[in-house]
Structure 1
Amino acid sequence: MEALVAGKVDAVSADSPVTLYAAERSNGAIKAVGQAFDTLPYSLPVAKGSTLGPVLQTVVQYLIDSGEMRTIAERWGIENGVIETSLINAAVH
């Protein structure tokens, strides 16, 4: 984004939240164009069978239940994509 603002590149491709956040804070120097596509919730990959998986699931669920996840999402402008339940291997459910 810095290279874009400095005129060193003509365009940047990034995740929608990153692009929108940068545009919002650029004082008009950056403009998001087009529409978001293939949007999906983020995941936290860990090695299969890792004991870290259930810990991360618990922490994310805590953030959801406490409302902190929504607060974080609102800060980044992605509150419409907040999940309600943290799952392990959600893609296979």
Structure 2
Amino acid sequence: MPKGTVEHGESSAQTAEREAFEEAGMVGSATAEPIGTFEYEKDSNGTRYHVTVHALFGNELADCYPESDVRERLCVPLFDAIDIVARPQVRTLLASLAQRCGD
């Protein structure tokens, strides 16, 4: 799940779109309203982060994207993602999204 800092003048939905492209090469439109939030702590520095999550409806996966050489992209159905994701808060968000989408 791509995440990043909201840049000056950017909405959280715009950040979701930018980060999805930078980290996974996904081109699409994020929902205007977030589907939820979660918090996590980076092991390397102990800083706690608050993440606002938007659903992204993508229609294209780019072969070339900014972080393609440092990230592994994995595209899976929503129900599989629920089983794969390690963070319980993120699993809950994905399960809620699946329920709303009727998956």
TM-score (norm 1): 0.29
Larger Rg: 1
- The structure whose residues are more often strand, as a share, is 2
More helix by proportion, 1 or 2? 1
User: Normalising by the residue count of structure 2, what TM-score does the alignment of the two structures yield?
Assistant: 0.27
